[in-house]
Each structure stands twice: as structure tokens, then as C-alpha cells.
Amino acid sequence: MKLSLGALQYYWPRQTIFDFYQAIAASPVDIIYLGETVCSRRHELRLSDWIDIADLMRDSGKEAVLSTQVLLESGIEVSAMHKVTGNPDYLIEANDMGAVQRLSAAQRPFVGGLHLNIYNQPALTWLASLGATRWVAPLEMKHQDLSALIQDGPKDLQTEVFAYGRMPLAFSARCFTARQRNLPKDDCQFACMDHPDGLMLKTRESEDFLVLNGIQTQSARVHNLIDELPRMQSMGVAVARISPQAQHTHEILALFDAVRRGTLAPHDARTQLQPLVPDQSCNGYWHGQPGLDLVETQTLATA
């Protein structure tokens, strides 16, 4: 099973982003998704910068993939998506059906992103027929359903699972980070930059609940399937995705790598991972429960 690093969800300073990926080049991760997927006002890096990073990743022996923005509203955003999908050098992760249209029309293979809402066999078969070589299962999907889809699905289609990170639960036209500062979205003063892991929203009982990340709303709890990696391997999941966070991404990748290689027991990995997780862990979706639940599971023997 391969490990991937999902596209950066946050707005970090330019040099921080370059330094981050420089370090990632030396990590055990196999696939790196690159590009701005959340908000077009975030432009510390242009597409050409992301392609430079992709080149660096390729030179380091990794597979680089360019990701498109999830929510397209303006003409400028649609044009930006056209530029990404028009890049001939890298595989593209399509994060909306407009991007799928461009890639299938160009007869290019692509990755069907997390937000395409592929929940069943006919939809999955259809996506593969358009040229998808890999797809990312919806967050909400329980492992039993996923297992059935993998078993009966298109044989050449790889399945990727969002295995670690704060979950991107929703997207809006409204920027909640700007709203919290009483700023209009069009003059947000790049408030996201002050929140390298997003801005915490708590209930009135001071319980961490959601994370505001510009137009995206994330879970406060961190989806964490490290002890499910053996099960994923036996199910035929091809790729486990780790979502970048401001601190400890490198160590987190190393722990996932050790588990997939069988050199660290899943249970021990979970214990070692815990101090690196910025909030409580959760895994409810994987077990058919509310996403914020933490289900204690008996881990399978390493496959």
C-alpha cells in the first residue's frame, strides 16, 4: 500500500510552504497532491511554483499530482481549473465535475477527488470509464461499503482513503475566517495566514467542535485510521492519504510508513501518534458511526 500526502488545506507563508515540501521530498511518502484546492484568494504560490515543487517531488522519486479547486464560483476560478487540467506533465486530481469534464474530453487519466460524491458501484464504474485511474472514497463511507466497492469495482481502478487529518466537511461561498474578523470575503486581508491549522470553533461548553478554514469547514477532531492500515491492506486499498498539518507531518508519515511495512504494531503506532495529533482522534465514519466518534477496534494482524 502506498502513502500519499493530500493537498495542503491551509494558507501558509510562501517560504514555509517551500520548506515544508523540501522536507517532504526526503520522507517515505509515495504520492504528493499539490496546489490550492480551497480558496483562489490564497496566492502565495502560483501554479508555476506548484509545478516547481512537483518537479522536485518527481526528481525525488515520488509521484506528483496537481489538484484542482473544490468549489468553483468565478470565471477566474474556472480558468484556473482549466490551466491545471491543461498541464500535460502531471496526473491531475479532479475535485469537481467540471474538472472531470476537461480531463475526460482530453482523454487524460485522472484521480477522482474526495469531493466528487462517488457512493456506489454504478457511479464508480462510470468514473472509471471516463479515465479515472484512482479515486478517493467519500469521508462518510464505512469500511464495509468500501470493501464491497473495491471487490466488485473496476479492476484497474485504485482506491485511496483519507486516513489521517482534520476532515474537510463542508465548503461555502462565505469565508468564515473573514466573517469572524468582520471583514468582507473580497477584502479578507488574508486572515487565514494567522491560523496555520485553521481557526477553532467551540461549543458554549468549550468543547472543540469545528475548524474554520476560510470557505472550508473542517472537523476539530482528527480522523485517524493508523490502526486500520492492516485492514485497508487486506481490503485492497491502494493508497492511504495523510493530510498536512502545521507541525509533525514528517513524524506522522514515518509512523504510517512503519505500520504499512509491518515494522511497528498498529496499536503501538496509535500510542506514539497521539502526542502529534492536534486534537482528539476520531474514526466514526469508517465504522458507520457519526464521524466524530472514536470506535475502539480490534486491529487485524499485519497483512
Q: Smallest distance from the beta carbon of 220 to another protein, in angstroms?
A: 10
Applying the rule CB under 8 A, the residues between 181 and 220 that interact with another protein are 184-186, 199-207, 209-210, 212, 217, 219
Which residue, 20 or 119, is less far from another protein as judged by CB?
119
Tell me which residue of 222, 258, 273, 220 sits closest to 243, measured CA to CA. Answer: 222
115 binds another protein (CB under 8 A): yes
Q: According to CB under 8 A, which one of 47, 56, 123, 265 is a site residue for another protein?
A: 123
In whole angstroms, give the CA distance from residue 100 to residue 95.
8
Are 29 and 46 in contact, with CB atoms under 8 Å apart?
Answer: no
Which strands sit side by side in the sheet containing 63-67, from one edge to the other?
132-136, 110-112, 91-94, 63-67, 31-34, 2-5, 239-242
Applying the rule CB under 8 A, the residues between 215 and 274 that interact with another protein are 217, 219
Q: Smallest distance from the beta carbon of 207 to another protein, in angstroms?
A: 7
Q: Smallest distance from the beta carbon of 92 to another protein, in angstroms?
A: 14
117 binds another protein (CB under 8 A): yes
Q: According to CB under 8 A, which one of 47, 292, 294, 300 is a site residue for another protein?
A: 292
Residue 248 DSSP code? S
Which residue, 23 or 170, is less far from another protein as judged by CB?
170
Are 15 and 34 in contact, with CB atoms under 8 Å apart?
Answer: no
Residue 288: is it exposed, middle or buried by C-beta count within 10 angstroms (0-12/13-18/19+)?
middle
Which residue, 219 or 233, is less far from another protein as judged by CB?
219
For residue 113, the SS3 value is coil
In whole angstroms, give the CA distance from residue 209 to residue 200.
8
Q: According to CB under 8 A, which one of 179, 248, 250, 267 is a site residue for another protein?
A: 179
For residue 135, the SS3 value is strand
Applying the rule CB under 8 A, the residues between 80 and 109 that interact with another protein are 81, 96-102, 104
Cα 252 to chain centroid distance, Å, stands at 14
In whole angstroms, give the CA distance from residue 1 to residue 200.
33
Residue 212: is it exposed, middle or buried by C-beta count within 10 angstroms (0-12/13-18/19+)?
buried
Q: Smallest distance from the beta carbon of 79 to another protein, in angstroms?
A: 11
175 binds another protein (CB under 8 A): yes
Could you identify the residue written with the cell 502560483?
46
Which range, of 2-10, 23-31, 73-81, 242-250, touches another protein by CB under 8 A? Answer: 73-81
Q: According to CB under 8 A, which one of 14, 23, 144, 274 is a site residue for another protein?
A: 144
289 binds another protein (CB under 8 A): yes
